């Protein structure tokens, strides 16, 4: 069943490119790091939106929580210098208000924010009446309606430059990926809202560099509309998410390695079968993970008996 959302391109004035590329560091760390990363990305010529995290949602206290308000002029300046529009994460109405004062008007809502309808509503109210674009990440838990609900709250506040970002779902068991893709969820979102762009964030799905290519290719094979890839001028020295960030040159190499197919015909075999293949591959991996956790528990009992 298709529902209706009135959607305008994320970048005002023209239809969004496919795939749209969003790149930039997990966190804005210093003016030098923000400007150097943005200039290198501009030099590579692949980035449509420059991302940088300003207030970082850290799982436990005691580590870098973002540069905060100080980072806003750095990011605004990077956008001016490169001509690439900038996007930041907002997680509180105050974030939205001060970002707008710095002429930043593309935002994303993070996975930990989207789980909370009260907060999403407060953010929608804070943005109401402003010409902004908002990209809504999936909630950390695999709840499609919670994700849709957040998009609808923004839509009902008159925000029509909207997109979704698929960043995977958290899990407890040990697995090669940081967050489970659960591809059936973004596929189902695309089916319900045919005109809503859905981007994939392979960085937060993978948690490491080695699997980025695989996940990015799968996203394109499933006709996702863009990619958000965390990119840092010196990834190993990054203050957050160092293991998953790439440098701007590696981003270009990654993008060059991807096969970008033109959209499949609606009823073609590939259009129908690619989502099913993705689900089967993921279930196979889950089976292996479950068997390996079971094996570890059995082995631990064996050791206790020794
Ligand atoms: C991020 O994009 O840096 C981030 C914190 O993402 P998520 O909300 O997907 O964890
Ligand atoms: Mn990150």
What the block records as the tokens of 54 is 């300003």
Burial 154-174 (b: 16+ CB within 10 A, else e): bbebebebbbbbbbbbbbeee
Largest CA distance in the chain: 70
> In the prediction, which pLDDT does 221 show?
95
Ligand 1 within 6 A of CB of 181? no
Expressed in angstroms and rounded, the spacing between residue 204 Cα and the centre of ligand 1 is 7
User: Which of 49, 57, 238 for a ligand 1 pocket mutation test, highest count of atoms within 8 Å of Cβ?
Assistant: 57
Ligand 1 within 6 A of CB of 95? no
Ligand 1 within 6 A of CB of 232? no
- 209-255 pLDDT, tens digit per residue, is 999 999 999 999 999 999 999 999 999 999 999 999 999 999 999 99
Nearest-angstrom CA–CA distance, 299 and 278: 32
Every domain of the chain and the residues it spans = 2-261, 265-306
State which residues of the chain have pLDDT below 70.
1-3
Phi and psi at 244, nearest 5°, equal -105, -5
Domain range 2-261, CATH architecture:
Alpha-Beta Barrel (3.20)
Alpha-helical regions (H) of 129-221? 144-156, 184-192, 202-206, 212-221
Q: Relative to the CA of 53, which ligand 1 atom is closest?
A: 3
Expressed in angstroms and rounded, the spacing between residue 227 Cα and the centre of ligand 1 is 14
Phi and psi at 95, nearest 5°, equal -60, -45
Nearest to 47 by CA among 206, 256, 253, 248: 248
Percent helix, strand and coil across the chain, each rounded to 5? 45, 15, 40
> In the prediction, which pLDDT does 131 show?
97
Q: Relative to the CA of 201, which ligand 1 atom is closest?
A: 9
Ligand 1 within 6 A of CB of 166? no
> In the prediction, which pLDDT does 2 show?
60
> In the prediction, which pLDDT does 1 show?
54
Cα-based distances in Å from 155 to 124, 127, 191, 212: 8, 11, 18, 31
Q: Strands 49-51, 86-89: parallel, antiparallel or unpaired by DSSP? A: parallel
Phi and psi at 162, nearest 5°, equal -130, 150
Nearest-angstrom CA–CA distance, 255 and 75: 24
Nearest to 87 by CA among 145, 148, 188, 163: 163
> In the prediction, which pLDDT does 232 show?
98
The pTM (predicted TM-score) of the whole model is 0.96
Tokens 């948690």 label which residue? 207
């Amino acid at each position: 069943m298709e529902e209706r959302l009135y959607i305008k391109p994320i970048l005002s004035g023209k239809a969004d490119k496919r795939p749209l590329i969003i790149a930039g560091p997990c966190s804005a760390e210093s003016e030098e790091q923000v400007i150097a990363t943005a200039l290198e990305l501009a030099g590579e010529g692949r980035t449509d939106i420059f991302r940088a995290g300003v207030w970082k949602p850290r799982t436990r206290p005691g580590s870098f929580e973002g540069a905060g308000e100080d980072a806003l002029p750095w990011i605004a300046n990077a956008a001016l210098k490169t001509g690439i529009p900038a996007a930041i994460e907002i997680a509180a109405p105050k974030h939205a208000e001060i970002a707008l004062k710095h002429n930043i008007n593309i935002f994303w809502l993070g996975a930990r924010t989207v789980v909370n309808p009260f907060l999403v509503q407060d953010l929608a109210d804070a943005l109401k009446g402003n010409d902004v674009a908002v990209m809504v990440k999936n909630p950390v838990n695999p709840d499609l309606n919670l994700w849709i609900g957040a998009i609808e709250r923004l839509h009902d506040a008159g925000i029509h430059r909207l997109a979704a970002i698929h960043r995977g779902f958290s899990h407890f068991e040990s697995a090669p990926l940081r967050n489970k893709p659960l591809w059936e969820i973004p596929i189902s979102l695309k089916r319900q809202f045919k005109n809503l762009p859905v981007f994939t964030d392979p960085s937060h799905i993978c948690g490491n560099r080695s699997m980025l290519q695989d996940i990015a290719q799968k996203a394109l094979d499933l006709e996702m509309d863009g990619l958000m890839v965390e990119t840092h001028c010196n990834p190993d020295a990054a203050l957050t998410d160092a293991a998953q960030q790439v440098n701007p040159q590696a981003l270009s190499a990654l993008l060059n390695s991807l096969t970008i197919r033109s959209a499949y015909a609606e009823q073609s075999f590939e259009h129908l079968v690619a989502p099913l293949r993705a689900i089967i591959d993921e279930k196979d991996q889950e089976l292996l993970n479950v068997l390996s956790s079971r094996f570890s528990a059995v082995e631990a009992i064996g050791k206790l008996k020794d």
